[in-house]
């Protein structure tokens, strides 16, 4: 936060994420943030924002999942070693289910192309749109693994996020440095932004609407959502298509 340009960029991005509802805030937290914004206390604003739910998460476009039921519209976010699925239940209430990376045994990305009517395709006919799915095997409870499938054009990016979070967990377990790992990913150098222009201060935060206030966080056991038995995806995949998770951890009796 010592770099002025970086501070302004991070501040503008955080305000935008809060306004869009991508970072979850309560009424009290919103008032605190607005007060700091009026004082132009950007560092204090960011320090508070970093304690909020979904700060720093990568949010994907709306898609479809088979959890808690088939063809359920969801919004997926990735961050803090978890995948978050937000869904709207009957009655317009928002719910969130969190899937910890350490409880995913493995995951895979599959693609399929629907055949045209008639069941056969010819070289002269155009092919349908590719359907991408991310499926992961999740430890719902002791001795019970369940496949969860997300259908999204961004399934590959979701898989990359999962791998990145697993890499970070493994580095932490081995006592390594996350910062050094990130530097290696960009070829050993960190590029500064070419633009040195100051970022204009965004407008003051607006009060959160009622839909954000109705967000209810599910417990880590997902007990508030009725779970149905979900079989493995119908698309077969070879062993090489499955990403094993070295950060996978089992559940002991004390976790139940």
Tell me which residue of 39, 36, 78, 75 sits closest to 55, measured CA to CA.
78
Considering the domain architecture, whether residues 72 and 164 belong to the same structural domain is answered as yes
Do 81 and 50 fall within a single domain?
no
The answer to whether position 42 is within a domain reads yes
Same domain, 97 and 6: no
Per-residue pLDDT 10s for the chain (256 aa) are 678 899 999 999 999 999 998 998 999 999 999 999 999 899 999 999 999 999 999 999 999 999 888 999 999 999 999 999 998 777 767 888 999 999 999 999 999 887 776 555 555 555 568 899 999 999 998 889 999 999 999 999 999 999 999 999 988 888 877 666 666 655 544 343 333 333 344 566 665 554 444 344 443 334 433 333 323 333 444 444 677 766 666 655 445 4
Nearest Cα residue to 76 out of 87, 92, 91: 87
Co-location of 162 and 206 in the same domain: yes
Report yes or no on 169 lying in a domain: yes
Beta-carbon contacts of residue 121 (< 8 Å; ≥ 6 apart)? 115, 127
Same domain, 110 and 220: yes
**Strand, coil or helix: what is 149?**
strand
Question: What CATH number does residue 52 fall under?
Answer: 1.20.80.60
pLDDT for residue 236: 43
182 and 231 assigned to the same domain: yes
Encode pLDDT of 190-204 as tens digits.
Answer: 343 333 333 344 566
Q: Could you tell me the residue range of the domain that residue 19 belongs to?
A: 1-56
Tally of residues, the chain:
256
């Amino acid at each position: 936060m010592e770099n002025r340009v970086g501070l302004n960029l991070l501040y503008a991005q955080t305000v935008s994420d809060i306004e869009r509802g991508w970072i979850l805030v309560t009424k009290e937290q919103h008032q605190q943030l607005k007060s700091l914004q009026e004082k132009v206390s950007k560092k204090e604003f960011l320090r508070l924002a970093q304690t909020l739910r979904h700060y720093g998460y990568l949010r994907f476009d709306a898609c479809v999942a088979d959890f808690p039921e088939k063809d359920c519209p969801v919004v997926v976010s990735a961050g803090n070693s978890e995948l978050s699925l937000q869904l709207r239940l009957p009655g317009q209430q928002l719910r969130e289910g969190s899937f910890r990376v350490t409880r995913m045994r493995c995951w895979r990305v599959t693609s399929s192309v629907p055949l045209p009517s008639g069941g056969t395709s010819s070289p002269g006919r155009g092919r349908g749109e590719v359907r991408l799915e991310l499926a992961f095997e999740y430890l719902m409870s002791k001795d019970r693994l369940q496949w969860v499938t997300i259908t999204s054009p961004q399934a590959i990016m979701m898989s990359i996020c999962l791998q990145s979070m697993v890499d970070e967990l493994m580095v932490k377990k081995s006592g390594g440095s996350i910062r050094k790992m990130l530097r290696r990913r960009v070829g050993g150098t960190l590029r500064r932004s070419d633009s040195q222009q100051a970022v204009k201060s965004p407008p003051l935060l607006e009060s959160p609407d009622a839909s954000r206030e109705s967000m209810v966080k599910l417990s880590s056991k997902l007990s508030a959502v009725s779970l149905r038995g979900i079989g493995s995806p119908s698309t077969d995949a070879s062993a090489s298509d499955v990403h094993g998770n070295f950060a996978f951890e089992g559940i002991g009796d004390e976790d139940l």
